[in-house]
Chain A
Amino acid sequence: MNAIAMKQPQAMKNSSKLSRAFLLKLELRSHPTLLCVVRGALEPLMEMLGFSPEQNRAIIRAVDEAVSNIMRHSYHGRPNMPIEVYCNRVQRRANGETEQGVEILLFDCGPAVDTTKIQARPLDEIRPGGFGLHIIRGSMDSVQYKRAGRLNRLRLVKYARPSEGGCGSAEEKPS
Chain B
Amino acid sequence: MKISARRVDKSTILDVSGNIDMSNSPEVRKALLREIREKGVTRVALNLTGVAYIDSSGVASLIEGLKASRETGSRFILFGLNDSAREVLKISRLLKLFEVYDDETQAMAS
Contacts and interface: CB of A to CB of B under 8 A. Distances in A.
B36 interface: no
Interface residues of B, number: 23
A135 B92 contact: yes
Chain A: number of interface residues, binned into ranges? 20 to 34
A57 interface: yes
A64 B55 contact: yes
A39 B87 contact: no
A45 B56 CA distance: 23
A131 to B, nearest CB: 4
Nearest to A58: B87
A68 B61 contact: no
B63 interface: yes
A52 B23 CA distance: 27
Contacts of B56: 65, 68, 129, 131-132, 135
Contacts of A71: 22
10 contacts: A32-B23, A35-B55, A61-B55, A61-B84, A68-B22, A68-B56, A72-B22, A128-B64, A131-B56, A138-B91
A35 B53 CA distance: 11
A35 B63 contact: no
Contacts of B53: 39, 60, 64
Contact of B60 (A35, A54, A131): A131
Given A39-B53, A71-B22, A128-B64, A61 B88 contact: yes
A123 B92 contact: yes
B9 interface: no
Contacts of A23: none
Q: Determine chain B's interface SS by DSSP, over half rule.
A: helix
B104 interface: no
Given A131-B56, A135-B56, A35 B91 contact: no
Contacts of A18: none
A71 B42 CA distance: 37
Interface string A134-166: 110011000000000000000000000000000
B99 to A, nearest CB: 14
B63 A57 contact: no
B21 A135 contact: no
Q: Which of B59, B63, B88, B93 gathers most chain A CB within 10 Å?
A: B88
A36 interface: yes
Interface in B74-110: 83-84, 87-88, 91-93, 97
